[in-house]
A and B are shown apart, each in its own frame.
Chain A
Amino acid sequence: MNTPLAIKGIRDGILITVPEGDWAEVLPNLLEAIQKQADFFRGARLALQIENRDISAAELGRLRDMLAEEEITLWAILTTSATTRGAAADLGLELELSKTTHAERDDELPLETRLQGEEAVLVERTLRSGHNVRYAGHVIVLGDVNPGAEIVAGGHVIVWGRLRGTVHAGAVGNESATVCALDLSPTQLRIAGQIAISPGRRSKTMPEIACIRDGQLIAEPWQT
Chain B
Amino acid sequence: MSGKVATITSGKGGVGKTTATANLGAALANMGLRVVCIDADIGLRNLDVVMGLENRIVYDLVDVVEGRCKLRQAMIRDKRLEEFYLIPAAQTRDKTAVSPQDMIRLSDELRADFDWILIDSPAGIERGFRNAIAPADIVVIITNPEVSAVRDADRIIGLVEAEDKGPGKLIINRVKPEMIKRGDMLGTDDVLDVLAIDLVGVVPDDESVIVAANKGLAVVLDPRSKAGGAFRNIARRLNGEDVPFEALDEHDGFFGRLSRLVKTGGEG
| Distance to closest chain A CB from B105 (angstroms) | 29
Interface positions of A from 114 to 134, Cβ below 8 Å from B: 126, 128-131
Measured CA separation A129–B159 after assembly (Å): 10
| Distance to closest chain B CB from A129 (angstroms) | 4
Tell me if A146 counts as interface (CB < 8 A to partner B). Answer: yes
Tell me which residues across on chain B come within 8 A of A129, comparing CB atoms: 151-152, 154-155, 158
Tell me which residues across on chain B come within 8 A of A144, comparing CB atoms: 194, 196
Measured CA separation A128–B167 after assembly (Å): 12
Tell me which residues across on chain A come within 8 A of B158, comparing CB atoms: 128-131
Measured CA separation A164–B151 after assembly (Å): 12
Measured CA separation A87–B265 after assembly (Å): 85
Asked whether, in the complex, the Cβ of B196 is within 8 Å of the Cβ of A148, the reply is no
Tell me which residues across on chain B come within 8 A of A147, comparing CB atoms: 151, 154, 194
| Distance to closest chain A CB from B124 (angstroms) | 13
Total count of chain A residues near the partner, CB < 8 A? 10
Tell me which residues across on chain A come within 8 A of B196, comparing CB atoms: 126, 144
Interface positions of B from 134 to 161, Cβ below 8 Å from A: 151-152, 154-155, 157-159, 161
- The contact string, 1 if C-beta is below 8 Å from chain A, for chain B 169-194, is 00000000000000000000000001
Residue of B nearest to A130 (CB): B155
Residue of A nearest to B158 (CB): A128
Beyond A129-B152, A147-B154, A147-B194, 17 extra complex contacts between A and B, CB < 8 Å: A126-B196, A128-B155, A128-B157, A128-B158, A129-B151, A129-B154, A129-B155, A129-B158, A130-B154, A130-B155, A130-B159, A144-B196, A146-B154, A146-B194, A147-B151, A148-B151, A164-B194
Residue of B nearest to A148 (CB): B151
Tell me which residues across on chain B come within 8 A of A131, comparing CB atoms: 158
Interface positions of A from 130 to 174, Cβ below 8 Å from B: 130-131, 144, 146-148, 164
Tell me which residues across on chain B come within 8 A of A130, comparing CB atoms: 154-155, 158-159
27 contacts between A and B (CB under 8 A): A126-B196, A128-B154, A128-B155, A128-B157, A128-B158, A128-B161, A129-B151, A129-B152, A129-B154, A129-B155, A129-B158, A130-B154, A130-B155, A130-B158, A130-B159, A131-B158, A144-B194, A144-B196, A146-B154, A146-B194, A147-B151, A147-B154, A147-B194, A148-B151, A148-B154, A148-B155, A164-B194
